[in-house]
Chain A
Amino acid sequence: GNSVTQMEGPVTLSEEAFLTINCTYTATGYPSLFWYVQYPGEGLQLLLKATKADDKGSNKGFEATYRKETTSFHLEKGSVQVSDSAVYFCALHAYSGNTPLVFGKGTRLSVIA
């Protein structure tokens, strides 16, 4: 079946540090890949997406590249801020008509000043 595995947290970084959150997936066909972010006390919101191999999604200084050969979609940011503290979820949508998104378990990021 389809699944997403992301690195366990929590991750604690100092402000301006480099961030990587690993995400790998298992899916049949060619899924779309997503990163969602959940800020404290809020629901999830889409951070970025990629719909085909080698696509790079980017938003708010975050980037992730769809790597079909390694089945990965790692999230990166060059210089994190305290306001980036949140839970990050990797997700996939396997294109087979009627299937919901499949989410990873989430990675909590804390950025300290």
Chain B
Amino acid sequence: DADVTQTPRNRITKTGKRIMLECSQTKGHDRMYWYRQDPGLGLRLIYYSFDVKDINKGEISDGYSVSRQAQAKFSLSLESAIPNQTALYFCATSDLVRGSSYNEQFFGPGTRLTVL
């Protein structure tokens, strides 16, 4: 079984709809992240969470919200989807390695979201 799973894998929705993307991990990591990927723009960080009680905005948080329901679950919501939120969304996890600068991230397979 995959260590980082995302549901759904593909979603087509309409402008104005509320959408939730879910991420689960079995790696036991404290840290979780949401990114979006657009052609030519690479990966951009939306939100990240270093533990269940910690939520931080990333580079492009406007129009998005998150919920860290448990150590293993981190959901991304689009309260009112708009067409320019059409993108590939990735969840990632990493472990806290105290006293180290090494911080490998493990990525899920991605969710392709299309907003019409």
Beta-carbon contact of B43 and A103 below 8 Å: yes
Contacts of B48 in A (CB 8 A): 100
Q: Which residue of A lies closest to B110 (CB)?
A: A43
A92 to chain B, nearest CB (A): 9
Contacts of B79 in A (CB 8 A): none
Given A89-B43, A105-B40, A106-B43, residue A30 in contact with residue B101 (CB < 8 A)? yes
Q: Which residue of B lies closest to A107 (CB)?
A: B42
Inter-chain contact count A-B, CB under 8 Å?
53
Q: Is residue A77 contacting chain B, with contact meaning CB distance below 8 A?
A: no
Contacts of A51 in B (CB 8 A): 100-102
Beta-carbon contact of A106 and B107 below 8 Å: no
Bound Cα distance A39, B78 (Å): 27
Given A32-B102, A100-B48, residue A106 in contact with residue B108 (CB < 8 A)? no
Beta-carbon contact of B107 and A100 below 8 Å: no
B19 to chain A, nearest CB (A): 20
Beta-carbon contact of A93 and B102 below 8 Å: yes
Beta-carbon contact of A105 and B42 below 8 Å: yes
A20 to chain B, nearest CB (A): 19
Bound Cα distance A81, B41 (Å): 26
Beta-carbon contact of A34 and B104 below 8 Å: yes
Beta-carbon contact of B40 and A32 below 8 Å: no
Q: Is residue B74 contacting chain A, with contact meaning CB distance below 8 A?
A: no
Q: Which residues of A in the span 75-113 have a Cβ within 8 Å of any Cβ on B?
A: 89, 93-95, 98, 100-101, 103-106
Q: Is residue A42 contacting chain B, with contact meaning CB distance below 8 A?
A: yes
Q: Is residue B87 contacting chain A, with contact meaning CB distance below 8 A?
A: no
Q: Which residue of A lies closest to B48 (CB)?
A: A100
Beta-carbon contact of A43 and B42 below 8 Å: no
**Sample of 23 A–B contacts (CB below 8 Å):** A34-B104, A42-B110, A43-B90, A43-B92, A43-B107, A43-B108, A43-B109, A43-B110, A44-B43, A44-B90, A44-B105, A45-B107, A46-B104, A49-B102, A93-B102, A93-B103, A95-B100, A100-B58, A103-B42, A103-B43, A104-B42, A105-B40, A106-B43
